Amino acid sequence: MKNSKTWFRSFVSTLFFLVSFPTFYCPEQALAYNQAHIKYGSEPKQTMDIYTPEGGEQLAHPVLIYVHGGGWMHGDKSNVSEKPTFFTNKGYVFVSVNYQLSPRVPYTDMAKDVANTIHWVYHRADQYKIDRAKINLMGHSAGGHLVTLVGTNPYYLASAGLPLQVINTVVNLDGPVDLTEFIPRNTTYMEVFGGKQETWADASPITYAANKHLPSILLVGKDQKAFTTFAEKARYAGNTVELFFNHTLTHREITKLLGAGSDNAEAINMTNAVAGFLDKNNSW
């Protein structure tokens, strides 16, 4: 009887912990994933890795297309930290993208590479059990800038033969949205965008924030002024923009600790914010 009471107290304690501690909604737990290396174009950098959840009965998964950072000049699709495990465990197909870099190509070609990736995924959705209505973009740093640019300026998806409406959500992890404000403070990136203000404005997602019928957008990072201004312009046009401001995480930690199981309180809150935003917009 004593052991039974001890077991019961342990069970109640565990149940209380599970109920009271913040958790993630997991519609379908995948114990493993399959990984495939794919070319989406003829250039060496036009490649991607596709991580597909194993198991479960779900017929069509939402997809999360991730674009790495690296100052538009560096970086690789392998820089994903724990994201493939975290998001496939939540029922997403996770796609990590390489794209051509400066100085080989201008930023416009980088954005077109992202658009061409979306085109590739959209037209092969059935093959990878992807729901075409749930195509989500995420990027860190330069990648955050590119996914937000593609998600607000319809030119890039139109160049790939798709309407902007194929994008369900955009998550920007500390990527600049206003280059007219960003580049004067970070003059190194004149190597990528040149020295003309009009070019910086053309490359800035904030320029297109007032376009109507944009996908739902989550901005995560430290740039409160630019993010807040972007959100105000977008919301005034009837769009949905959510904000999560980091205060203690570094630029690198924002991507490194997302979904990584860190005990850092801000990393937990950030992961909850991103997961909640995506799950809310990709209901099963």
Q: Per residue in 219-278, pLDDT tens?
A: 999 879 999 999 999 999 999 999 999 999 999 999 999 999 999 999 999 999 999 999
A 10 A CB-CB count for 201 gives: 13
**Is the separation of the CB atoms in 75 and 64 below 8 Å?**
no
More confident residue, 30 or 71: 71
Pairwise CA distance, residues 46 & 67, whole Å: 12
**Is the separation of the CB atoms in 182 and 142 below 8 Å?**
no
Pairwise CA distance, residues 98 & 76, whole Å: 6
Q: Which two tokens stand for residue 164?
A: 């902007």
| Predicted pLDDT at 55 | 72
| 215: CATH | 3.40.50.1820
Q: What is the pLDDT of residues 124-168, one digit of tens each?
A: 999 999 999 999 999 999 999 999 999 999 999 999 999 999 999
- The verdict on residue 23 lying in a domain is no
Q: Which range marks the domain in which residue 74 is found?
A: 32-281
pTM: 0.89
- The verdict on residue 254 lying in a domain is yes
Pairwise CA distance, residues 17 & 10, whole Å: 11
Pairwise CA distance, residues 168 & 145, whole Å: 17
- The verdict on residue 2 lying in a domain is no
Indicate the average pLDDT of the chain.
90
Pairwise CA distance, residues 173 & 81, whole Å: 14
- The verdict on residue 13 lying in a domain is no
Residue 13 phi, psi dihedral angles, 5° rounding: -60, -45
- The verdict on residue 69 lying in a domain is yes
Total number of domains in the chain: 1
A 10 A CB-CB count for 19 gives: 8
Token pair 């029922």: residue? 91
- The verdict on residue 123 lying in a domain is yes
- The verdict on residue 185 lying in a domain is yes
- The verdict on residue 246 lying in a domain is yes
